[in-house]
Amino acid sequence: MLGIRMDHYGDSDPSGLTSTITNDLDTAIERMVVVAVRIIPDIYYIFTALKTIGDYNFVLMISVFLILPIKILNTIFLGRWNYRTQAGVYRKIGSLTGYLSERIKHLSLIKTNANEARELASGEKVIDELYRANMDVVKYGVVSGAVSTVIGVLQNVVTVVFGVICLQRGIIDIKQWIAFFMYAGTLSGKFDSMINYWINFKTIQGGLARIARLVEAPQEQSDNPALLQEMPESRDIVFDHVSFSYGDKTALKDVSFTVKENSFTAIVGLCGSGKTTAIHLIERFYDADEGEVRIGGVDVEKISSRALRKGISLVHQGAGIFGGSLRQVFTYGLDRDVTDEEILAVAERTGALDYIRDLPQGLDTVVAAEGTSMSGGQRQRLVLTREMLRNTQILLLDEPTAALDAVACQKVKTAIQEAAKDKTVIMVTHDLYLLDIADQVIVLENGCLQKQGTPEELSGIIERYAEVCPCED
């Protein structure tokens, strides 16, 4: 899955993908193996037992099959009912969880509004619904139990009656009757097993389909020798009549602009105007439908994605990090070795040092998975530090100051200004305060290039296009 293309990833729900790799795979393989291993001995047993009974008497052997059709029907109908009631229970548990998590999250709202009594009542109602769903399962159990009993009784009646008749007619003797009686019992069990194997097989179908889709998903091709394995010398970025859509939703329409080498360009626009898409196209998470994105005069699609991404630092909107020590966070994906002093020096410029200084274990401090032990602002500064450490020629930033307060913002602004002296910097932002150090501002609206120019030229109109967009990560 690591190799798949970003557009396929974007189409799938991340938790669904995780579940595919773990649960689906687990259940599918477990069931396939169980079936494969057990089905052969079971088939062998059934054949041998039937043959033995058949040796006693042919009619006797047929009698064993009499109950089979009823069993199959029973499994199908009751199986469906069972599935529905179980699904009902899971749904109710889900809605109870959803209801509770919302209420608990807003518990202070409930308390400050002194609304406890009413919330208690509505909570009880939801709990009652779960109770009723569970009772449905019990009722199902009653009915299925009754049906099983009836089938079991019928089974016994048939075997006993047939056996007695044969015995009385002298067709079989008492030893054979006893053997037949016991065989009938075990055969009944084996038939049940066979039906279960079939059911198992059907249940894993869904999971197998999802796994197959993942395995067959188109891969990114990095090792194609036709691609350039190194970034071009000059680092100006050009969008040449670029259009791109996510499915049928247009994100960029015929957008053209140039970002000169070693300059700072800001991209602004309302939500959904295509700002983040532009960044994605430079990184080649997606390929343009029409037009070209060029770096140093070379179409990005002609550069291997490996070389391309190694040459670009991306501070993306979610400011994602992986758990581990702070040192690991800072050096994630870094090819060269860095000393602690180097890390701290860059951290000083971005303001992340303030946070590190207070930690007793410094760079060895362990950060929780996805950085949940830190505030959004702290994470943003860490991620900025990481990308600055990477020290590539191109720096892309997507809303790098959304969670920062006034003073921290000021520091970041200075750091970016410094960086722009020898890097090509593109920043998507809604924060008007950061725009006055930009060399160029690009305004996007509904995927089209609306305005382009220096901050002074656009000073009256930029305000209209500043909007905070929800993070898509």
Partner 1 sequence: MRRLKKYLTIFKDVKIPWILLMIYLVLSMISSHMEVGAMTMTASIIDASQNAIRSDELIEYISVIAVSGILTIATGYLSGISLNTINRGVRVKLWNKIMRLPLSTNDLDNGAGLITRVTTDADASSQYVNMFFSLMTTAYGAVISLQQLFKFNIKMSNMFLLLVPWALLVGVFNCKFSYKAGAFYRKTVSELMAYLSERVRNFKLIKSTVSEKQEKDHGNDKVRRVYKAGLINIGVGQFEGVCEDLLSLANLIICFVYGATLVQSGELSIGRVIGFYSISGMMLIRITQFIMYFGELSKANGTMKRICEIMNTEDEKSEGDHFDYPDEDIVLKNVSFGYKPDKLILKDISCTIPKGKITAVIGPNGAGKTTMFKLLERIYTPDSGAIYYGERNIAEFALEGWRSAFSIVSQDNMVMSGTVRENICYGVTRNVTDEELIAVAKRAHCYDFIMETPGGFDAEMGMDGSNFSGGQRQCIAIARAMMRNPDYLLLDESTSNLDVKSEKIITEALSNLMKGKTTVMIAHNYSAAKMADYIIILKDGQIDAVGTPEQLKDHSYFQVFSKRGV
**Residue number, 423 or 430, with CB nearest to partner 1:** 430
Query: Which positions from 243 through 302 interact with partner 1, judged by CB under 8 A?
Result: 283, 285
Q: Which of 40, 62, 146, 359 binds partner 1 (CB under 8 A)?
A: 146
Asked if residue 109 binds partner 1 (CB under 8 A), the reply is yes
For partner 1, the binding residue among 404, 412, 426, 441 (CB under 8 A) is: 404
Q: Which of 84, 91, 306, 357 binds partner 1 (CB under 8 A)?
A: 306
CB of 415 to partner 1, least distance (A): 16
Q: Is 158 near partner 1 (CB under 8 A)?
A: no
C-alpha distance from residue 223 to each of 151, 310, 311, 431, 453 (Å): 63, 14, 17, 40, 39
**What DSSP state is assigned to residue 359?**
-
Interface segment toward partner 1; rule CB under 8 A; list 61-69, 233-241, 292-300, 310-318: 310-318
Restricting to residues 26-45, name those near partner 1 by CB under 8 A.
26
CA dihedral (108, 111, 113, 117) positive or negative: positive
Give, for 190, the enclosing helix (H) or strand (E).
helix 174-215
The letter for the amino acid at 352 is A
Comparing CA positions, the residue from 257, 247, 386 lying closest to residue 316 is: 386
Sorted by sequence, the CB contacts under 8 Å of residue 389 that are 6+ apart come out as 330, 331, 334, 338, 342, 343, 346
Q: Which among 35-43, 78-86, 119-127, 453-461 is the span making contact with partner 1, rule CB under 8 A?
A: 119-127
Question: Which residues in 76-190 belong to E strands, given as ranges?
Answer: none
The mark string for 196-235 relative to partner 1 (x by CB under 8 A, - otherwise) is ----------------------------------------
Among 377, 385, 399, 444, binds partner 1 (CB under 8 A): 377
Q: Decide: is 58 part of the binding site for partner 1 (CB under 8 A).
A: no
User: Can you tell me which of 11, 18, 297, 361 binds partner 1, judged by CB under 8 A?
Assistant: 18
- Half-sphere exposure in the Cβ direction for 331 (13 Å, CA): 17
Nearer to partner 1, 87 or 198 (CB): 87
Report the amino acid identity of residue 87: A
Stretch of residues binding partner 1 (CB under 8 A), selected from 36-44, 78-86, 338-346, 408-416: 408-416
Q: What is the DSSP track for 305-357? A: HHHHHHTEEEE-TT----SEEHHHHHTTT--S---HHHHHHHHHHHTTHHHHH
